[in-house]
């Protein structure tokens, strides 16, 4: 859903929230099942760890240059089809356009809320 937002397409906030709650629950459950005591939300609400805030949470950057694909992806049509089925998009890398500042803390608060709602019930010692 975040990919849709990055492309300027409308995203239903309630559907996004429900999807993220489920994804965090899955991520935490898998971590606990693997023996992890201190769990994370798995970065589920972010398109990538390096780009969680481009235009959504911080000011100063926006989508810029198309992200290059590795040669194996660009020459393997079966792989391209598989990636498309799981939601891979030709997203862009962020371009710095001005001073970086907090734009909106609401998405961060939602991330924290989702994690806090799940990790104790899953049996984790802590969450971050």
Q: Write out pLDDT tens, residues 73-92.
A: 555 567 766 766 666 555 55
Mean pLDDT of 31-50: 83
68 has pLDDT over 80: no
Count of domains observed in the chain: 1
More confident site: 44 or 118: 118
Locate 35 and state its tokens. Answer: 């023996």
Q: What pLDDT is attached to residue 112?
A: 92
Q: Provide the domain limits for residue 44.
A: 2-127
Query: Do 117 and 18 contact (CB within 8 A), yes or no?
Result: no
pLDDT band at 24 (very low <50, low <70, confident <90, very high): very high
pTM of the shown model: 0.65
Side-chain-side CA neighbours of 117 within 13 Å: the count stands at 14
């Amino acid at each position: 859903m975040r990919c849709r937002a990055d492309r300027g397409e409308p995203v239903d906030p309630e559907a996004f929230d429900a999807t993220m709650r489920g994804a965090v629950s899955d991520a935490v459950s898998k971590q606990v099942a693997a023996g992890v005591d201190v769990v994370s939300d798995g970065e589920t609400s972010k398109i990538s760890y390096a780009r969680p805030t481009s235009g959504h949470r911080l000011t100063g950057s926006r989508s810029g240059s198309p992200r290059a694909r590795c040669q194996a992806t660009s020459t393997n049509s079966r792989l391209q089809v598989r990636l498309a089925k799981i939601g891979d998009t030709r997203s862009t890398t962020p371009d710095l356009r001005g001073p970086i500042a907090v734009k909106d803390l609401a998405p961060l608060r939602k991330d924290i809320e989702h994690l806090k709602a799940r990790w104790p019930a899953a049996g984790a010692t802590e969450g971050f």
